[in-house]
Chain A
Amino acid sequence: MPAMRATHEWGTLVYVEAPVDPMAPPADSAASQAEWPSYDPAPFFDELVGPSGGPRPSAEELWTHFAELGPIALAERQLAADREIRAIGVTFTVYDEGVGVDRPWPFDIIPRIIPRDQWQVIEAGLVQRLSALNLFIDDCYHDQRAVSEGVVPADLVAGSPNFRRECVGVDPPGGIWAHICGSDLIRDDKGFWYVLEDNLRVPSGVSYLLENRMVTKHIFPEMFRHYSIEPVDPYVGRLASTLASVSPSTGDPIIVVLTPGIHNSAYFEHAFLAQQLGVELVEGGDLVVLDDDCVYARTIDGLEQVDVIYRRVDDLFLDPEAFRADSLLGVPGLMRAWKSGRVALVNAPGAGIADDKKVYSYVPEIIRFYLDEEPILWTVPTYRCSDPESRAHVLANLPELVVKPANESGGYGVLVGSQATPAELAAAAKAVEDEPNRWVAQPIIQLSTAPTLCDDAIAPRHVDLRPFTLMGPDGAYVTRGGLTRVARRQGSLVVNSSQGGGSKDTWVVDAANDNPFEEQS
């Protein structure tokens, strides 16, 4: 397959020209058929290809269509997708030696397919999980019944860097603290699903999920005839009604998105969401809290009261009066306004208490305790290094484990034991011994793969999945599918876009279920 690079054509405004010339001779069919049989994901579970080497039932149409298109047409469509992404300005910012550079969003055109029956189980599991976590957060800032009844150790709550003393006793509407959750899901070598992380602070990625679908519709419009694919757009309407539902005022709420600013790595998403919601995108300097504890925006017509803030600024930067005094991103007095109930913050400050890899290890117990239900989704077994017995096990088995800092996100500081050098292993062992509290370890899950267009062929690459769950007093909603992230280097398990990962459109389709859930549960 020829390597192609996206250059910018004048005059291609939004939609690229049809990437395939209908008058061109058909692609070499011998070559096209040679591509697919050479695809071998073993020993991993592959999302589209079954153990026999043929497509899974849900992927048959796609398989056939791609084989007909052949490698050259596929490469052309990838090029068209790259060009469109560049033209519409879908970017993320990476920091290289302190300098932010906008990169075009990396997108692989081969979609990932999930049968609908399977998705419904996941959806129920995500709602169950977020319901329990919200009850847990509310408990943390009230009676701490989970501690007094011995479900979690006291230190897990009070000793967490994500515990916000300022939030104690606060009652956000409906008892909901985490309204928007971007969970990370993975599948192991048998195809079993696990929740890997609950991101409850300011999870990113939903804009890319929506844009990926838009691009796919332009690049493979014909595929939407073969498949009944669940739409992803309803998310925006759901987000709007979730935000409106927590407004403290009775009239039409004024909602804003609060961004750290144009230099933030997720600024594209902040602007995208504000645009989609039809609301203003504010920075800290645009807002002010007056003596009446109300939040106002500086508009061309004077100060306008704000009811709901979808904040994309971390807790500690929200309010220099309450948290970091040196924060220029926040709004002095914002916590005061929130605590007095004059403004809603989404997600609520302090929600991160449940977004911590140590709390993660207790989620099954948390679900049983608050909901009196068995967890629908699996949690990866997690060793807490603060526990001497677990620590000994971790230190003795480092090469078979993933070691993670308990309170970080974004894939930073993660050590994959099997891929580490002896020096890296020694450093990790020392770090665990020095500060056992900071670390947890998990068995290495062999992430599933999906066919991905690489330089010269379609090759298996590891993937994860980030669906988004919304929860308000009126109910819950889960995106249909999610953002599939791809590790672009062969064998790599790191899918974070900040670490060079790519992405795929994800289709929840009405197709025969080939899922392993029955076996799993």
Chain B
Amino acid sequence: MSGPGPGQGQGPGHGTPPDQVERGEPEETDQGLDERSGTMLLARMAEAVYWAGRHLERAEGTARIVQVHTDAHVDLPVGEDVGWEPLLSIAGVDSEFAARYQAAEDPDDVRAAEEDVVEFLLHGEDNNSSILGSLTAARENLRTARPVIPREAWEACNNLWLGSNDHLTEAHTREGRVRWLRRVIAGCQCIHGILLGTMSRDEAMSFLVLGQSIERADLTTRVLDVRSDSLHHPGADDPYDVVHWMAVLRSLAAYQPFRRAMPARPQGGSTLRFLLQDDRFPRAVGACLTEARAQLKALPHSEGAQEACQDASMVVASASVARLTVSGLAEFLEDVQLALVDIHERVDETYFRPSFVGWEPAAAT
């Protein structure tokens, strides 16, 4: 045994007289963590904030889409409306919905009932990307990431999750639904506001904004994708064409920015150009990709993901919008979505899934 034996025991406080017990705050000169140089971000935390960013965006985006669709539905005469199925396509949950609801229903009734679709999108049991499912996932991820995000942001998310659960039954009427959705949107905006206003622009923030940007771009392509169907066989003078395009813009909170940026009426071409290629509107695909790339630049080892981002930007920027209004929009949007998946995969393999094999300790800190 090598250490100091208890005979020489010089333990702390060995015989410390009570009046020497330290009191109060550490002194200012105390070396503690104040001067810590190396900030580090665990790979697992980075993954949690990235997914928190994606799920929050998805919750907000889905809420906006359901809200606007409800509004537009009210505007259209019975018979002219487009039904509720498009919402399922936008959310990408057609087959999940069919598995859950339509098997049990009258096979002749091909149109999905409003209540079923809305319930499924708000909190459907088998729908992980329902609004409530997304909020739950965002909350779980933020709970994991609590040490790297502002306390207030976690509290706001927890609060939103609790409130949207407690008030869920109110969302079953159209009137209550509008209120519920507005609160969800406002709650998500509140979280973003807290993050923008109180979180350091550190690596954790970069991952959060990265997740948010990718999800935003994806959601915008989905909204456009659904419209692409009706685009190619417009009744020569569909009196409701403008209504539909206005709904598209509104569901992406893009109507007013579009009006200010584009003198044209909201029609296929101008709307597509704005939502795909605008570099200043935060939900336009082009702007989302610019943002994603800016965040990646701030991260180490991001060359591959930056490249994927640039590729996606090229796809979007080089598109001929005039031609897309005639044909090929669906295929084009699929290309964009695949490019987004590619960015995600590069991020995933660079940061979230590497094994220890081949990893060298960082230069001495």
B146 at the interface (CB under 8 A from A): yes
Bitwise, A1-17 to B at CB < 8 A (1) or not (0) is: 00000011111111000
- The residue from B41, B146, B148, B159 contacting A12, defined by CB atoms under 8 A apart: B159
Give the residue name and chain of the A residue nearest to B302 (CB): A300
Q: Mask for A285-312, Cβ within 8 A of B = 1, else 0?
A: 1101010001011111111110000000
A271 contacts the other chain (CB 8 A) = yes
Closest to B167 in A: A10
B362 touches A302 (CB 8 A): yes
Partner of B158, one of A89, A169, A174: A89
B241 at the interface (CB under 8 A from A): no
User: Tally of A-B residue pairs with Cβ under 8 A?
Assistant: 239
CB of A123 within 8 Å of the partner chain: yes
B38 interface residue per 8 A CB criterion: yes
Residues A10 and B361 in contact in the complex (CB < 8 Å), given A288-B356, A476-B22 = no
Closest to B8 in A: A175
Tell me if B43 counts as interface (CB < 8 A to partner A).
Answer: yes
Does A222 touch B at the CB level, under 8 Å?
no
Pairwise interchain contact A124-B21, C-beta atoms closer than 8 A: yes
Indicate if the CB atoms of B152 and A241 lie closer than 8 Å: no
Contact between chains at A174 and B40 (CB < 8 Å): no
The reply to whether B38 and A89 form a contact with Cβ atoms under 8 Å apart is no
Q: Does A378 contact B (CB under 8 A)?
A: no
Question: Among B6, B31, B35, which residue has its beta carbon within 8 angstroms of that of A143?
Answer: B6
- Among B11, B24, B144, which residue has its beta carbon within 8 angstroms of that of A174? B11
How many Å lie between the Cα of A238 and that of B21 in the bound state?
Answer: 13
Q: Quick check: is B320 within 8 A (CB to CB) of the other chain?
A: no
Interface residues in B280-330 (C-beta closer than 8 Å to A): 299-301
A51 to B12, CA, bound (A): 41
Interface members, chain B 172-189 (any A CB < 8 Å) = 183
A333 CB, min distance to chain B CBs, angstroms: 12
B13 adjacent to chain A (CB < 8 Å): yes
Q: How far is the CB of A413 from chain B (nearest CB, A)?
A: 32
Pairwise interchain contact A238-B45, C-beta atoms closer than 8 A = no
Q: Is the CB of B203 within 8 A of A131?
A: no
The answer to whether A301 and B300 touch across the interface, beta carbons within 8 angstroms, is yes
Q: Are A139 and B361 in contact (CB under 8 A)?
A: no
Contact of A244 among B6, B33, B163, B364 (CB under 8 A): B33
The distance in angstroms between the C-alpha atoms of A504 and B154, with both chains bound, is: 24
Query: What sequence of 0s and 1s flags, for each residue 212-231 of chain B, a beta carbon within 8 Å of any chain A beta carbon?
Result: 00000000000000000000
Q: Is A120 an interface residue (CB 8 A)?
A: yes
Residues B147 and A279 in contact, CB atoms below 8 Å apart: yes
The answer on a CB contact under 8 Å between A241 and B32 is: yes
- A303 and B356 contact, Cβ closer than 8 Å, known pairs A138-B6, A238-B26, A254-B40: yes
Would you give the 0/1 interface string for A220-260, flagging 1 where the beta carbon is closer than 8 Å to chain B?
00000000000000100110110010000001111101000
Q: What total of chain A residues lie within 8 Å of the partner, measured CB to CB? A: 87
Tell me how far the C-beta of A263 lies from the nearest C-beta in chain B, rounded to whole angstroms.
12
Contacts of A153 in B (CB 8 A): none
Partner of B13, one of A11, A89, A303, A475: A475
Inter-subunit contact B33/A234 (CB<8 Å): no
Which parts of B9-46 form the interface with A (CB within 8 Å)?
Answer: 9-16, 18, 21-22, 24-26, 30-33, 35-38, 40-46
Q: Cβ of A300 and Cβ of B13 under 8 Å apart?
A: no
Please give, as numbers and ranges, the residues of chain A lying within 8 Å of B96 by CB-CB distance: none
B143 interface residue, CB < 8 Å from A? Answer: yes
> How many angstroms from the CA of A142 to the CA of B11 in the assembled complex?
14
Q: B156 to A13, Cβ gap below 8 A?
A: yes
B162, A237: Cβ atoms closer than 8 Å = no
Question: Per a CB cutoff under 8 Å, which of A138, A251, A252 touches B11?
Answer: A138
Give the CA-CA distance A72 to B229 in the complex, in Å: 61
Chain B residues whose CB sits within 8 angstroms of the CB of A476 once the complex forms: 12-13, 16, 21-22
B26 near A237: Cβ-Cβ < 8 Å: yes
A76 within 8 A of B: no
Asked if B5 and A244 sit within 8 Å, CB to CB, the answer is no
The docked-state distance in angstroms from the alpha carbon of A234 to that of B24 is 7
Question: A155 at interface (Cβ–Cβ under 8 A)?
Answer: no
Among all A-B residue pairs, the 4 with the closest Cβ atoms: A124-B18, A171-B3, A274-B147, A131-B13
Q: Could you show 7 A-B contacts with beta carbons less than 8 Å apart?
A: A7-B166, A128-B16, A240-B32, A252-B36, A252-B38, A300-B207, A303-B362
Q: Enumerate chain B interface residues (CB-CB to A < 8 A).
A: 1-7, 9-16, 18, 21-22, 24-26, 30-33, 35-38, 40-46, 140, 143-144, 146-148, 151-152, 154-156, 158-159, 162-163, 165-167, 183, 190, 203, 207, 299-301, 351, 354, 356, 359-362, 364-365
What 10 additional pairs, Cβ within 8 angstroms, besides A169-B2, A176-B11, A176-B12? A87-B158, A87-B162, A124-B18, A124-B21, A127-B21, A131-B14, A142-B1, A145-B7, A254-B38, A285-B44
